[in-house]
Amino acid sequence: MSNIQLKISNPQHIKEPKPIDHRFSTAHKAKLAKASKDFESMLTSMMLKSMTKSTNGLFGDSNFGGNVLDTFFEQELSNHITGSQGFGIAEQIYKRITGEELNLEEFIKFKNSKPNELKIKNIDKGNGAVTPSNSASTRLKKYEPIIKEASAKFGVPQNLIKSVILTESAAKENAVSSAKAKGLMQLMDGTAKDMGVKNVWNPKENIFGGSKYLSQMLKKYDGDLSKSLAAYNAGPGNVDKYEGIPPFTETQNYVKRVMGYLNYLES
């Protein structure tokens, strides 16, 4: 087996790591970690293929289905090597981009999580539960299949979508606010257009549009539910300006009410 020689053609690529870059959210960093590990896995697979070239693959050239087995086992072996300690390539890439050490446990947790699963934090249990009216609960029930579908698509928990619907419209699909927000999740025309909603009065389109926007806010604020709900109500510009829930009575009451419904639904 011949030796593999690695050559550093440009020493300028090896520099002191950057300071920690706070632009990256936890979810974004998890994706960077996965991309770094995937790159190392691909490189490891190429190295294994090069190392076994002289023996015509891992299983030689006299076995049945050798080419297929070689490709499968090389990929599995490279994934195993990279998924454990690896060669440190992924760690260097990750640190170069973010300025932080790659946390292998967090990477494994992200790798094994559901693709659209969003982590929610700062759920305020101190507000107690808010019980919806019987009529609102009855109206909400008929939208449960749509809510379940929207939850799976955008990663927003079903009970959170329900809590926003109860707060926004009491589950009335024809609701219109004084600010001209419309439908179950009270979408403004601009927001509806941005979310790809063509008919704001269509329950499925409205719920999908509202869930998509709520998902975007949760990603923007790294799963912080208070900030995300405040942004849904008052806009992300105001949340950024005040670095949290804006000092607007309407928004503060809104966040508390959604939290209250959420506490009720999860009790």
CA distance from start to end of the chain: 64
Confirm if 245 and 239 have CB atoms less than 8 A apart: yes
SS3 assignment for 115-140? CCCCCCECCCCCCCCCCCCHHHHHHH
* Cα dihedral sign, 32-36-38-42: positive
Determine the Cα–Cα distance for residues 178 and 166; give it in Å rounded to an integer. 17
168 among known catalytic residues? yes
Determine the Cα–Cα distance for residues 42 and 45; give it in Å rounded to an integer. 5
Confirm if 91 and 102 have CB atoms less than 8 A apart: yes
CA nearest to 113, candidates 40, 26, 21, 43: 26
Active-site choice (74, 91, 168, 173): 168
Local structure of residue 58 (DSSP, 8 states): T
Please, which residues bridge with residue 121 across strands?
A: 224
Element (H, E) at 205: helix 203-220
Please identify every residue annotated as catalytic.
168
